Structure 1
Amino acid sequence: MTTLLPFVLFPVLLWGGALQINVTKEDDESFQEQEKFLSFAHCNESLLELYSTYCRLLFQEDMLDTNKELWCDWQSVIRPYNKLTVCLEYFTGTLPCFYPNHIVEKAFLQVHSIYFQYCRDQEDGFSDPPHYVSVSLTLVPVCLIPILVSLVVWKSKVKE
């Protein structure tokens, strides 16, 4: 019976640990109060660097499986990106270190500089108007203001 107990408990602990992995959501601000709940006095940053490299390598494998033309398509990249986030958050909490921190930020910046540097923002659809349009739209009101001011002054003098 005691020899079966570790074999029964190991999958439960493994699945339980996997269920407790949490990705910090945009509207969840509890990550800012981590020091109230946990002690982060002994963060092993060199080990965290190694783990972040490991997580980036896993992300790289996933991205190599994805067609390069789809790297800018968020629907194609969201799963590997989420795995990277979960991996970094898991190892950061295991060591224990604050999440996010400068090492995790550096890992994300490296990933973005390699895989997403040529991706355009979808909202960046507008461009600057031609020079003559912006000059004409600026000069017309500027020229009309003195004319209108002089007209108002002239009309106020006529009433007197």
Structure 2
Amino acid sequence: MESPVRQLYLLPLLLLLCDACAQVYGCNETGMLERLPRCGRTFADRMQRVDVWKWCNLSEFVVYYESFTNCTELETNIVGCYWPNPLAQSFITDIHRQFFSNCTVDRTHWEDPPDEILIPLIAVPVVLTVAMAGLVVWRSKRTEQLL
């Protein structure tokens, strides 16, 4: 098995070669659907090394996921397809459902406060700003009178 570093160096060369193939032959969707499961199997094998309760923490498997993404891109380009495309996205979505369906994002639903609270929060700073400006003007005129 090649090292991940070597794979990263070879990836641009392979993508360049595959881009030339795409221009000549076009997209072979059947070939792509035959090749993408290899990426999924490799990703699944690697994910088995990660505890299931850590599957929602991307930092635990980011290297595996990056490798999976690179693999899907490479395989789609080899058969002359662009990436991402609807078929590849569908495949990636299926992998997400398989591994990350229990990962939910708890998002806080923000609402504006009621008017009884919102109006004073806006009015008080405005009134204080006007009052402080008035106080500065009044004080500066009074200093001139004292001199």
State the TM-score, normalizing by the size of structure 1. Answer: 0.56
Question: Superposition pairs for residues 40-55 of structure 1, below 5 Å?
Answer: 41-55=25-39
Question: Superposition pairs for residues 1-160 of structure 1, below 5 Å?
Answer: 19-22=9-12, 39=23, 41-121=25-105, 124-127=106-109, 137-138=113-114, 140=116
Aligned length: 110
CA distance in 2, matches of 1:18, 1:127: 41
**1:145 corresponding residue in structure 2:** none
Aligned residue type for 1:21:
L
CA distance in 2, matches of 1:92, 1:44: 9
8 Å Cα contact 1:40-1:98 kept in structure 2: no
Specify which structure has the bigger relative contact order, considering alpha-carbon pairs within 8 angstroms and separated by 6 or more residues.
Answer: 2
CA spacing shift, 1:90–1:78, aligned 2, 3 Å? same
**4+ long deviations beyond 6 Å:** none
Q: Superposition RMSD on alpha carbons, in Å?
A: 3.3
CA distance in 1, matches of 2:7, 2:39: 18
**1:3 corresponding residue in structure 2:** none
CA distance in 2, matches of 1:40, 1:100: 19
CA distance in 1, matches of 2:24, 2:116: 62
- Structure number with the higher helix fraction is 2
CA spacing shift, 1:16–1:62, aligned 2, 3 Å? closer
CA distance in 2, matches of 1:16, 1:84: 15
Q: Identity over aligned residues, as a percent?
A: 19
Deviation, structure 1 residue 116:
0.9
CA distance in 2, matches of 1:99, 1:81: 16
Runs of 5+ unmatched residues, structure 2: 13-18, 118-147
CA distance in 2, matches of 1:68, 1:108: 19
Runs of 5+ unmatched residues, structure 1: 1-14, 23-34, 142-160
CA spacing shift, 1:45–1:70, aligned 2, 3 Å? same
Deviation, structure 1 residue 138:
3.8
State the TM-score, normalizing by the size of structure 2. Answer: 0.60
Deviation string 1:6-46 (CA, Å, 9 cap, x unpaired) is xxxxxxxxx98751315xxxxxxxxxxxx9xx616521111
